[in-house]
């Protein structure tokens, strides 16, 4: 799943290519992915792209005040086409959820390019979500977003205030979109590894020094992932993300810091990875699936 750094890079990629163009057509391939019915996607046609924003893991294409917003979820991705595909979508017949085409740039009369992008979704659990709204706040997942960790206003004091009084495990807290916007399963694993902190540590019990360490880890991890991803074409972002991960999705491999094996704790719907030597003083965390296998 793309998280803050990849979504930030995608928004930048689209901004560079789309601001100043007019929406030529919007086709929905997966009706279930469209979460709004008024205004209709067709209302975007003829409007010019004025801005591209990121809200947490959402991308917001602003066309003259009407917003095409999407969340790629776990299996979704954006495919950019320098020349938009002309064929019409056949609803239900492909992994294509959305196809948008654009006109040549208005501010460049030599421009004849007609680019576009597709949103695709792999897998059986369809969670990719598309919205057409008059204001981003009308998207429920945006209305409830916590602060953006890369915003200037997100200081260590703000972060400490978020953690204070939270009886929750830090891993779950970091990836809760209503607490902090944009961090998911992958970067929460990475941040905790950098901070040398157990995923099961209780947020409220962290002392000032630990909060400072975690804040630094959050900032550094996200900022270096953003700079690794920015400027990369959409199709290279997945590999760029994978290459930057030290523990996430690397169960059984060597921890790049200490050489211990990367371990996993699995849950019904996800799993987390960590290094026992770096993060839990060598203690191996209980894993329900592992203990079931050993019985």
Cis ω before 284 (30° cut-off from 0): no
**Smallest distance, Å, CB 138 to Zn ion?**
44
Kind and range of the H or E element at 285?
none
Q: Which of 135, 100, 134 is nearest to 116 (CA)?
A: 100
Stretch that binds Zn ion, among 114-122, 136-144, 272-280, 282-290 (CB under 5 A): 272-280
Considering the rule CB under 5 A, would residue 28 count as an interface residue with Zn ion? no
In the complex with Zn ion, which residue's Cβ is closer, 266 or 277? 277
What is the DSSP code (8-state) at residue 82?
Answer: S
Considering the rule CB under 5 A, would residue 222 count as an interface residue with Zn ion? no
Considering the rule CB under 5 A, would residue 275 count as an interface residue with Zn ion? yes
Considering the rule CB under 5 A, would residue 277 count as an interface residue with Zn ion? yes
Tokens found for residue 65: 């005040």
Q: What's the rounded Cα separation, in Å, for the pair 266 and 164?
A: 27
Residue 99's DSSP bridge partners are 27, 118
Give the count of residues interacting with Zn ion (CB under 5 A).
7
Q: What's the rounded Cα separation, in Å, for the pair 170 and 199?
A: 6
**Contact by Cβ (8 Å): 274, 192:** yes
In the complex with Zn ion, which residue's Cβ is closer, 23 or 278? 278
> Binders of Zn ion among 233-262, rule CB under 5 A?
255, 257-258, 260
**Smallest distance, Å, CB 198 to Zn ion?**
13
In the complex with Zn ion, which residue's Cβ is closer, 51 or 257? 257
Considering the rule CB under 5 A, would residue 143 count as an interface residue with Zn ion? no
Binding residues vs Zn ion (CB under 5 A): 255, 257-258, 260, 275, 277-278
């Amino acid at each position: 799943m793309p998280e803050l750094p990849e979504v930030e890079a995608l928004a930048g990629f689209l901004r560079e290519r789309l601001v100043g163009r007019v929406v030529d057509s919007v086709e929905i391939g997966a009706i279930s992915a469209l979460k709004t019915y008024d205004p209709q996607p067709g209302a975007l046609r003829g409007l010019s792209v004025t801005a591209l924003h990121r809200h947490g893991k959402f991308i917001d294409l602003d066309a003259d005040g009407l917003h095409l917003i999407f969340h790629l979820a776990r299996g979704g991705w954006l495919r950019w086409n320098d020349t938009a595909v002309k064929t019409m979508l056949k609803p239900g017949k492909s992994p294509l959820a959305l196809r948008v085409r654009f006109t040549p740039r208005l501010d460049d009369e030599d421009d004849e390019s007609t680019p576009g992008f597709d949103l695709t979704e792999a897998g059986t659990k369809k969670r990719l979500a598309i919205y057409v709204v008059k204001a981003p706040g009308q998207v429920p997942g945006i209305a409830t977003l916590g602060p953006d960790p890369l915003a200037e206003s997100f200081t260590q004091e703000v972060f400490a205030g978020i953690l204070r009084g939270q009886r929750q495990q830090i891993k779950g807290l970091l990836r809760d979109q209503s607490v902090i916007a944009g961090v998911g399963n992958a970067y929460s694993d990475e941040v905790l590894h950098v901070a040398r902190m157990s995923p099961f540590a209780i947020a409220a019990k962290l002392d000032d020094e630990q909060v400072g360490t975690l804040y630094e880890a959050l900032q550094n991890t996200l900022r270096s992932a953003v700079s690794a991803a920015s400027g990369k074409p959409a199709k290279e972002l997945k590999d760029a993300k994978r290459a930057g991960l030290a523990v996430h999705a690397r169960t059984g491999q060597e921890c790049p810091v200490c050489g211990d094996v990367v371990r996993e704790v699995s849950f019904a719907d996800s799993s987390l990875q960590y290094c026992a030597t770096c993060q839990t003083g060598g203690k191996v965390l209980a894993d329900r699936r592992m203990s079931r296998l050993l019985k």
